Structure 1
Amino acid sequence: MRLIKSQILRYVFEDSIIFVLIITSILFLSCQNDEQEEICQSPYTEEDVRNEEALRAYLQASYVCSVDQVSVTKKTIQIAGKFIGEGVFYLSEISPYVDVTRMDTHSYKIRLTNSSFKIELDRFVEREGISYDRLLSKWVIVKQENGVDLLASHARYADEIQAIQFLEPIKLTNKKGMGGIIPNQYITDLSLLNISSGTINIPITHFMHLTARSGDIEHMYGGKTYYIDEGYLRNTIDIALLAATKERNISVAAIILLDPAARCADPDLGAILQHPDNNGGTYTMPDLTNAESVNCYAAALDFLAKRYCRIDNSYGRISHWIMHNEVDGGRDWANMGVKPVTVFTDTYVKSMRMCYNIVRQYDVHAEVFASFSHSWTEVSNPGWYTCKEIVDLLSAYSKTEGDFQWGLAYHSYAQDLTNPCTWIDPNAQLSMATPFITFKNLEVLNKWALSKENKYKGTVKRSIWLSEAGVSSRSYSNEDLQKQAAGFAYAWKKINALEGIDGIQWHNWFDHSGDGTCLGLRKYLDESYKGEAKPVWEVYQKAGTNEEDEYFKQFLPLIGIPDWNIIENF
């Protein structure tokens, strides 16, 4: 993922900016007069403040009633649970475009007569002109009092999804990966560097249309027909995935991105997918507020899963799904306007769940990853969130609405993106309250991953990919190139020793002007440099081989340490 100027600025001004996100009912200051009220104005609307309060209360609530199991077969949905108490209870269906905390009357509900129940329903129903797949829904118990439906349980998504096929997982053979795999003349690097994992950008809005164009193929979903530019896919996505997965058995994660409507290949489709409160940013959060938009987004995910999760691997394979980019910086990378953190995360969880439920039909081993910058407890840019507060909310949603196999796609850049000497990062501390997680203190991320409370269903470690991470060379001087090489050697010794870190997908393969600094393993792929390998390329190649220890010795004096015993316990 290219880094834009706003990302670079966060490192320049980080010591002078203090930005505090205020949540729940303390979102407004008490103002005594009109002048003070203007000064104290919250950035959030009153509706968003109320929504934030309601979502927080919902996540923290304790209910005696519960939906305990949701199972999805090819044709049915089975929901089991129990209610306790006197009164009239219903099982209510909550589709993605409905907010569970903001409904007084539920439209799709079934009267419960037995306190312990198991109900089987048709999976597909006609609803609002769409053949709706209840795979996307969650289910909640409500109690009716005075004509109002009151929540009596947490909602629950599907726990089990019957797959239509079985794909063998692609297991990582080492921790070396490549970020942003693209077709180019150096594709053999994937073999020369012994790459085991990678990422690829998939901007849905570059190839999907509402009306047919020359060369498009049809994709039917929910009774609606959408059109896909297959030429675009063959020349960009397919060729890269085939080289990585079919030829080299590399495990690849797709980064799902949506352009704002004005930049979409089909602006009309973009208008459907763009979040209604979007007010800028490089990419948008999908619109999950109405049936048409949800169906369109689900159709895109379904198409990608069908094409890239095939037993014959005809087009290449996607094994993991990274949902959007650096969502702690949502205003830049998944824009849905200015929102309190729980309101934002609620929509993000819906997007993650939709992808997960759709993809698991085709690949029972597929994971979805949440994408974050190197911020942990400190806001990187004005208007951003911290990673930890979103991570904590993801855990809270998993505990209340049923767990699913999500992991972290973390961007553990140096604190100062331009400085390759990440071992001196001042605010990367060995503490769970550290402001930043960089290569210097990956032990923090490792500890998070290995803690039982953070594991999937309490037993399975969540995958952690450093899916966009690297160190830079400030210039092409020998000194700067050696510092970049040393920075990777230091990072690798941490990554390879930590059980909780599954791998690094190096950003970037080539230097790119959009990064604001030279992060590539190779120089610029242009007429001037032609992608020449930098010293860090050779260090990357030797990492994980029997030549590693001898070759890496040269960097110890530059770093200022006597040996590679650099892993610390805390």
Structure 2
Amino acid sequence: MKQYFLYLTVSMLVNNRTVPYQYNGKTYYFDSMDYYKQIVQECNRKKVVVTMQVMLDWNEGNTDLINMQARKPGALYYSWNIYSNASREKMEAMFCYLGMIFGQKNCYVSNWVLGNEVNHPDGWNYAGSMSDNAYFQTYAYTFRALYYAGKRQQANARIFICTDAYWSPSKGRRYGAKQVIDNFAVHLNKIQKGLDWNLAYHAYSFPLTYTRVWEGYGITNTLNTPAVTMKNLHVLTDYIKNTYGPSVRIILSEQGYSSVQGQNLQAAALAYSYYIAACNPMIDAFIIRSYKDDPVEAAQGYLFGIYKKEAFDVFKYMDTSRSSQYTDRYLGVIGANSWSQIVPGYKVQRIRRMYRR
């Protein structure tokens, strides 16, 4: 199944407010979202699954949406303010507007992701001085608002929480992904039982610059592993399945490897990771994050783009009938004789069923 990923920030929704929208007796004004509507409609026509990630950035005039203890400029994205009635209703109005726009028969989003890597409250979902309890409670309440908005007109839409690959707590204020999953589930259950949730996971290599993901550097196959990468992905999927059930679906919504150590290693890592994902029944999507190298990331030694690199052909053909022609050549780079030797559950028939039509 082909995938398309869209980022959406609050600023994109409110900077050009031309469309009136009524919610709970009050009129709000939002952007028409015409550009995104065109993209989503085109994807729908071509049977491409659309995932949209919703994030709260700093926007003058709308800082009331940010939790008071996190209301400090300079962060990328923020935790929402659910403790003010007016701010909470504005948030709900935004979500419901998005659910209306992208819940049409010819313009619909299949997957909604709330926030980015929320186990990193100092970076990607700024929490300021919020307590742990307030942080997880806020995320659960916000999730419920997006849940009802996303499903209002599109009952089959799925709503996701989001974490990175750091499975266990690390230095500074950085929760482990498992810690987020478990605390979120507890708080959501307190708020309302029976809401379906899913996980958008970023199974990067550990550390980020280490492209030889198949070697499993610094990780284990136990629940105490510091990170869950593609090498030990089963730790995550087994835990979710055994603890919360197979109905909790997982998408790998931000994947990529740096080519700093060599384009052949990047290409090998991409092929290896795709097959790992394709052969794990708990995984529904494998989404590559970067087409071209980002100058800011490049300055930090991260060359995640695949444009004009060996990895591009792997990406182009790995889910087609020509996959083996473009992926088998990297078995030698990995040090394996076959994909079945290193990919749990690898079956040629399963891979063929996933070929793009």
TM-score, with length taken from structure 2: 0.89
Match of 2:268? 486
User: How far has the Cα of 1:514 moved from its partner?
Assistant: 3.6
The SS at the match of 2:22 is strand
The SS at the match of 1:277 is helix
Distance in 2 of aligned mates of 1:514 and 1:252: 27
Match of 1:301? 95
- Could you tell me which amino acid in structure 2 is paired with residue 554 of structure 1? R
Instruction: State whether structure 2 residue 69 is matched by structure 1 residue 291.
Output: no
**1:373–1:412 Cα contact (<8 Å) kept:** yes
Q: How does 1:394-413 map to 2 (within 5 A)?
A: 394-400=184-190, 401-413=192-204
**1:395–1:454 Cα contact (<8 Å) kept:** no
Match of 2:34? 234
User: How far has the Cα of 1:540 moved from its partner?
Assistant: 1.3
The SS at the match of 2:237 is helix
Match of 1:346? 137
The structure having more radius of gyration, on CA atoms, is 1
Distance in 1 of aligned mates of 2:21 and 2:291: 33
Distance in 1 of aligned mates of 2:212 and 2:137: 37
Instruction: State whether structure 2 residue 47 is matched by structure 1 residue 271.
Output: no
Change in CA separation of 1:398 and 1:207 when aligned onto 2, cut-off 3 Å = closer
**1:437–1:445 Cα contact (<8 Å) kept:** yes
Aligned residue among 174, 191, 216 for 1:425: 216
Distance in 2 of aligned mates of 1:387 and 1:197: 24
- Could you tell me which amino acid in structure 2 is paired with residue 519 of structure 1? F
Q: Which runs of 4+ in 1 moved over 4 A?
A: none
Deviations 1:242-295 (A, max 9, x none): 33223x2211121111112xxx2xx22x22212111145211111111110011
**2:79–2:135 Cα contact (<8 Å) kept:** no
**2:108–2:154 Cα contact (<8 Å) kept:** no
Match of 2:164? 373
- Could you tell me which amino acid in structure 2 is paired with residue 298 of structure 1? E
User: How far has the Cα of 1:399 moved from its partner?
Assistant: 4.5
Distance in 1 of aligned mates of 2:137 and 2:219: 29
**1:511–1:518 Cα contact (<8 Å) kept:** yes
More helix by share: 2
Instruction: State whether structure 2 residue 6 is matched by structure 1 residue 208.
Output: no
Q: How does 1:304-323 map to 2 (within 5 A)?
A: 304-311=98-105, 313=106, 316-323=107-114
After superposition, the CA RMSD in angstroms is 2.0
The SS at the match of 2:99 is helix
**1:409–1:465 Cα contact (<8 Å) kept:** yes
User: How far has the Cα of 1:449 moved from its partner?
Assistant: 3.5
Distance in 2 of aligned mates of 1:345 and 1:307: 28
Instruction: State whether structure 2 residue 270 is matched by structure 1 residue 468.
Output: no
Match of 1:414? 205
Distance in 2 of aligned mates of 1:485 and 1:426: 18
Distance in 2 of aligned mates of 1:422 and 1:430: 14
- Could you tell me which amino acid in structure 2 is paired with residue 234 of structure 1? D
Same amino acid, percent of matched pairs: 22
- Could you tell me which amino acid in structure 2 is paired with residue 500 of structure 1? M
Deviations 1:373-421 (A, max 9, x none): 1100142x52111111111112323544402111110000111212321
Deviations 1:58-101 (A, max 9, x none): xxxxxxxxxxxxxxxxxxxxxxxxxxxxxxxxxxxxxxxxxxxx
Aligned residue among 504, 520, 524 for 2:305: 520
Q: How does 1:548-559 map to 2 (within 5 A)?
A: 548-559=323-334
The SS at the match of 2:283 is coil
- Could you tell me which amino acid in structure 2 is paired with residue 226 of structure 1? Y
**2:150–2:159 Cα contact (<8 Å) kept:** no
Distance in 1 of aligned mates of 2:181 and 2:22: 35
- Could you tell me which amino acid in structure 2 is paired with residue 208 of structure 1? V
Match of 2:153? 362
The SS at the match of 1:431 is coil
**1:445–1:500 Cα contact (<8 Å) kept:** no
More strand by share: 1
User: How far has the Cα of 1:342 moved from its partner?
Assistant: 2.8
Aligned residue among 331, 337, 342 for 1:566: 342
Distance in 1 of aligned mates of 2:235 and 2:343: 11
- Could you tell me which amino acid in structure 1 is paired with residue 127 of structure 2? M
The SS at the match of 2:94 is helix
- Could you tell me which amino acid in structure 1 is paired with residue 49 of structure 2? S
Distance in 2 of aligned mates of 1:537 and 1:317: 29
- Could you tell me which amino acid in structure 2 is paired with residue 521 of structure 1? I
Match of 1:188? none
**2:50–2:109 Cα contact (<8 Å) kept:** yes
Aligned residue among 380, 383, 395 for 2:173: 383
Higher relative contact order (CA 8 A, sep 6+): 1
- Could you tell me which amino acid in structure 2 is paired with residue 553 of structure 1? D
Change in CA separation of 1:551 and 1:359 when aligned onto 2, cut-off 3 Å = closer
The SS at the match of 2:231 is helix
Deviations 1:417-442 (A, max 9, x none): 12321112322221122110111111
**1:197–1:505 Cα contact (<8 Å) kept:** yes
Aligned residue among 253, 276, 279 for 2:51: 253
User: How far has the Cα of 1:299 moved from its partner?
Assistant: 0.8
User: How far has the Cα of 1:300 moved from its partner?
Assistant: 0.5
The SS at the match of 1:438 is coil
Distance in 1 of aligned mates of 2:265 and 2:344: 23
- Could you tell me which amino acid in structure 2 is paired with residue 505 of structure 1? I
**1:521–1:537 Cα contact (<8 Å) kept:** yes
User: How far has the Cα of 1:568 moved from its partner?
Assistant: 5.0
Distance in 2 of aligned mates of 1:550 and 1:207: 44
Distance in 1 of aligned mates of 2:151 and 2:332: 49
